[in-house]
Amino acid sequence: MERIRKRKHSSVKPPKSTTIAAVGPPFLDYLRPTAEECLSVRDDLLSHHGFPQEFLKYRNRRMRAKPYQNTQQLPEEDGEEIETVLDGLVRTVLSQNTTELNSERAFASLKKAFPTWENVLAADSKCIEDVIRCGGLAPTKSSCIKNLLSWLLEKKGKLCMEYLRELSIEEVKAELSLLKGIGPKTVACVLLFNLQLDDFPVDTHVFQIAKTIGWVPPIADIKKTYVHLNHRIPADLKFDLNCLLYAHGKVCRRCAYRKVDRKSKEETDGNGSCPLLAYSGCSTVT
């Protein structure tokens, strides 16, 4: 008797950046950081370093977007063109697994070689690779950018992502998570810096600091840390705290994620002792 084959039904996997969030925060019984602790760390880092200049333009734009903010106290943008969402997304893709200097060079080189995103889409992948090679992982990033532009043109009919400004945080995550090579950290950076929405990207600097001062359990990986910190940190502190932790992690040898020798570990960031040392000994309620 002939066997009847069962037809396989295709299934759509949930977007990767929302898969973890869909089951809720991973460490519900882990009660750090508290809102008070987040505020205290923000204030201590701000007093210690001042606000990082590299993020100041994004901070001013966020403040201008608040209807209750006294914008007369903010400096003018001096005719500076506000970065588009698409530019911000590609810039973040180019920043993956490389230094800030190299990623900025790669983005500048890309924009110089291809004045429009239509030019990038029409270009041969090898040409794009050669242009962005200084940023590292050129084949992977070139493929990601080409896929992004092709998807965008097919979906929206034009190479523009300003429509994301009308979506909620979860809608943006669901939208961008459909794209290969666009991970949770990249999406979170676009949310925070280009869309002025409250999210908390976790890179290696923030991840290491969070583990060092006990904001996540020792077993936490970077993905679960992202979900946990977004659940625990108050929305109105996410931007400042993220910028300050990132900037602090780059200069403080005590908090650096890279391996350093014993002498280096005893050094500080050159501006007094590390302001986060007081938090590493805090007790954790589990």
Helices of type H across the chain: 16-22, 35-49, 56-65, 85-94, 100-113, 117-122, 125-132, 138-156, 169-176, 184-189, 204-212, 222-232, 235-251, 262-266, 277-280
- For residue 73, how far is the Cα from the chain centroid? 28
Q: What is the mean pLDDT of residues 254-275?
A: 56
Task: Look up the pTM and report it.
Answer: 0.83
What's the pLDDT score for residue 259? 46
In the chain, the percentage of residues whose pLDDT exceeds 70 is: 79
* Residue 139 pLDDT exceeds 60: yes
pLDDT-derived band at 271 (thresholds 50, 70, 90) equals low
List, by residue number, the catalytic residues.
Answer: 185
Q: Domains of the chain by range and CATH?
A: 29-65+198-286 (1.10.1670), 83-195 (1.10.340.30)
**Residues whose CB falls within 8 Å of the CB of residue 258, separated by 6 or more in sequence, listed in order:** none
C-alpha torsion sign, points 209, 213, 219, 220: negative
* Residue 268 pLDDT exceeds 70: no
Among 89, 21, 16, 34, which residue's Cα sits nearest to residue 225?
21
What's the pLDDT score for residue 5? 46
Q: What is the mean pLDDT of residues 161-188?
A: 94
* Residue 270 pLDDT exceeds 70: no
Q: What is the mean pLDDT of residues 15-30?
A: 65
Q: What is the mean pLDDT of residues 253-269?
A: 53
**Residues whose CB falls within 8 Å of the CB of residue 170, separated by 6 or more in sequence, listed in order:** 18
Q: Tokens at residue 205, please?
A: 């600097």
* Residue 16 pLDDT exceeds 50: no
Asked if residues 245 and 48 have their Cβ atoms less than 8 Å apart, the reply is no
In the chain, the percentage of residues whose pLDDT exceeds 90 is: 70
Cβ atoms < 10 Å from Cβ of 76 = 8
